[in-house]
C-alpha cells in the first residue's frame, strides 16, 4: 500500500546514484543482491540481541534494494533481476521474525503466525500474478517490479515499519506480528476476490 507512494518520493533521491551505477554498467541484480545481504545481516544481530544494529542493517539494506530498482529504471528490467527482487525480499521478510523467535523462544508462536500469514499473502500474490500475466492483465508497478502486490496492504514498506517497531521495542514483537499477520490475511482475501472477478470459469 505504501510502496508506490514511497517509490515516487524516493525516486529523485536515488536517480543520481543510479545514473552513476548504470553508467559504470553495474547490473541491477548485483545491487539487489547487495541490498539483500545487508538486510539479512540483521538476522544474527537480532539473534544476539543487538536490535538497533539490526535496524540499521535493515534500513541500509532496504535503501540499497531501492537503489537497485532505480538502476533498473535507468537500464532495463531482466527476468533474473525481477526474480531476485521478489525472491530475496520474501526470504528476508521471513527470516527476520524467525530471528526474533531464536532470540527469545517465547516469541515463537507470534513468529510462526507472522511467517504463516506472510506466506499466505505471498502465495496469493504470486498465484494471481502468474494467471493475470497469462491473461494479458498488466501486473507491473511502474515497470519496477516483476509483478505488483495486487491490493497489497502489506508490501515491503509495511514490513519495514513492522520490523522497525519490533527492533525499537522488542517486547512489542508479539503485537506487531499479530497485527501484521491479520493485515496479510486481509490482503490475501482481496486477491482471492480479484481472482474470482478476473478469472471467471467458462
Indicate the domain borders of the chain: 3-198
CATH for 3-198 is: 1.20.120.1760
Place of cell 528476508: 92
Instruction: Please tell me the distance from the alpha carbon of residue 141 to that of residue 124, in angstroms, as a whole number.
Output: 17
- In the block, cell 476476490 appears at 193
- How far apart, in whole angstroms, are the C-alpha atoms of residue 168 and residue 164? 6
Cβ contact 57:41 at 8 Å: yes
Q: What is the pLDDT of residue 76?
A: 67
Dihedral over alpha carbons 3, 136, 71, 36 (to 10 degrees): 60
Q: Of 7-11, 120-124, 161-165, which range is least confident?
A: 7-11
Q: How far apart are CA 141 and CA 158, in angstroms?
A: 17
> pLDDT tens, 105-151?
999 999 999 999 999 999 998 898 888 888 877 665 444 444 444 54
Q: pLDDT digits over 29-41, tens only? A: 788 899 999 999 9
Predicted TM-score (pTM) of this structure: 0.81
* 3-state DSSP assignment of residue 197: helix
Amino acid at each position: 500500500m505504501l510502496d508506490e507512494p514511497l517509490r515516487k518520493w524516493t525516486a529523485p533521491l536515488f536517480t543520481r546514484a543510479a545514473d552513476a551505477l548504470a553508467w559504470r554498467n553495474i547490473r541491477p541484480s548485483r545491487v539487489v543482491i547487495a541490498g539483500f545481504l545487508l538486510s539479512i545481516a540483521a538476522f544474527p544481530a537480532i539473534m544476539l540481541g543487538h536490535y538497533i544494529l539490526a535496524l540499521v542493517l535493515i534500513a541500509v539494506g532496504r535503501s540499497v534494494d531501492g537503489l537497485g530498482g532505480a538502476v533498473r529504471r535507468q537500464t532495463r528490467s531482466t527476468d533474473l533481476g525481477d526474480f531476485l527482487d521478489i525472491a530475496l525480499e520474501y526470504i528476508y521478510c521471513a527470516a527476520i521474525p524467525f530471528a526474533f523467535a531464536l532470540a527469545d523462544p517465547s516469541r515463537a508462536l507470534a513468529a510462526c503466525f507472522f511467517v504463516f500469514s506472510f506466506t499466505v499473502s505471498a502465495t496469493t500474490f504470486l498465484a494471481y500474478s502468474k494467471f493475470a500475466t497469462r491473461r494479458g492483465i498488466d501486473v507491473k508497478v511502474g515497470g519496477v517490479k516483476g509483478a505488483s502486490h495486487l491490493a497489497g496492504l502489506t508490501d515491503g514498506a509495511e514490513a519495514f515499519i513492522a520490523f522497525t517497531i519490533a527492533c525499537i521495542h522488542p517486547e512489542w514483537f508479539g503485537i506487531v506480528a499479530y497485527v501484521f499477520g491479520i493485515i496479510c490475511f486481509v490482503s490475501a482475501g482481496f486477491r482471492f476476490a480479484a481472482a474470482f472477478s478476473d478469472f471467471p470459469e467458462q
